[in-house]
């Protein structure tokens, strides 16, 4: 599969009509058991969020979270969420929370930043933007997550890759996720991706969010909501359909890899208090 060669110092690929896409996603969701609500970020600025309890009785119902669309020039994320919701392919035995688009004003402008000029994915330490204030206030009211995913795109990447934040050394979901994605999209095999050491598409950064002044969503989630998070990056110099498939496949595979039965080494199976305030 060939790169398109469109992206020169930024993303120059397809744009999406975000309002139409979100309307389609939100219309499809209730048919499959989802509850829809809107976070009031500011006058005229609402963020849709979806939640769903387990649809099948199961002794083990993991709590899974996914967000997309925090960068307005990364269209495959909201498209992948739409596909997963409309095709109803997310696990039925799990608790699910999904944010289909965290930065609608960025998509209206096809810019990474929101209309206010802020990169929302640097605003999670002490949120100042209305979007992230509303998002974190909503997250605070939710239970802890067993796994949290953030769907992104990278205009420079040579293939799909992911970041794993797994400070307690839990069983990694990266190998089965990357294996599934490899069926639909090339994996970035570079030894250095985004300035970090990578191994066959997996970046496991060693970091302490406490020492970082600007937090992406993944840091907030790690500090407050989960001990296992993945930032999924599709390569936005490839055809859009490939990237949508990559992100949808990765989300499904990662959630499925978490397993249909409890595992004592999973982050929250030892109780709900294991993480939050570090």
Interface residues with Zn ion (CB under 5 A) are 71, 74, 152
Least Å from the CB of residue 243 to Zn ion: 12
User: What is the edge-to-edge ordering of all strands in the sheet holding 63-68?
Assistant: 35-42, 45-52, 95-99, 63-68, 147-154, 229-235, 161-165, 202-203
Pick the closer one to Zn ion by CB: 74 or 113.
74
Measured CA distances, 245 to 14, 82, 89, 238 (Å) = 15, 11, 13, 11
Pick the closer one to Zn ion by CB: 144 or 150.
150
Phi, psi of 198 (to 5 degrees): -130, 150
Rg (CA), the chain: 17
Pick the closer one to Zn ion by CB: 29 or 185.
185
Pick the closer one to Zn ion by CB: 146 or 237.
237
Phi, psi of 38 (to 5 degrees): -120, 130
Least Å from the CB of residue 74 to Zn ion: 5
Least Å from the CB of residue 3 to Zn ion: 18
Least Å from the CB of residue 153 to Zn ion: 6
> What length is written for the chain?
278
């Amino acid at each position: 599969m060939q790169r398109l060669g469109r992206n020169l110092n930024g993303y120059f690929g397809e744009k999406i009509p975000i309002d139409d896409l979100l309307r389609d996603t939100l219309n499809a969701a209730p048919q499959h058991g989802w509850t829809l609500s809107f976070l009031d970020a500011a006058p005229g600025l609402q963020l849709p969020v979806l939640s769903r309890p387990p649809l099948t009785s199961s002794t083990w119902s993991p709590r899974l979270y996914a967000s997309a669309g925090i960068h307005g020039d990364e269209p495959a994320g909201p498209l992948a969420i739409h596909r997963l919701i409309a095709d109803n392919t997310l696990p039925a035995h799990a608790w699910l929370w999904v944010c289909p688009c965290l930065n609608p004003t960025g998509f209206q402008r096809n810019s990474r930043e929101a209309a206010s000029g802020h990169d929302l994915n640097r605003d999670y330490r002490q949120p100042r933007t209305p979007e992230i204030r509303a998002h974190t206030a909503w997250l605070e009211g939710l239970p802890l997550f067993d796994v949290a995913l953030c769907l992104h795109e990278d205009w420079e990447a040579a293939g799909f890759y992911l970041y794993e934040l797994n400070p307690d050394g839990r069983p990694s979901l990266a190998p089965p996720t990357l294996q599934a994605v490899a069926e639909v999209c090339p994996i970035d095999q570079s030894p250095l991706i985004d300035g970090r050491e990578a191994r066959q598409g997996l970046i496991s950064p060693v970091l302490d969010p406490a020492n970082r002044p600007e937090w992406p969503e993944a840091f907030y989630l790690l500090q407050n909501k989960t001990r296992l998070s993945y930032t999924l990056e599709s390569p936005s110099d490839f055809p859009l359909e490939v990237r949508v498939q990559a992100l949808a496949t990765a989300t499904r595979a990662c959630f499925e890899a978490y397993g249909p039965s409890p595992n004592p080494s999973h982050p929250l199976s030892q109780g709900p208090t294991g993480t939050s305030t570090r």
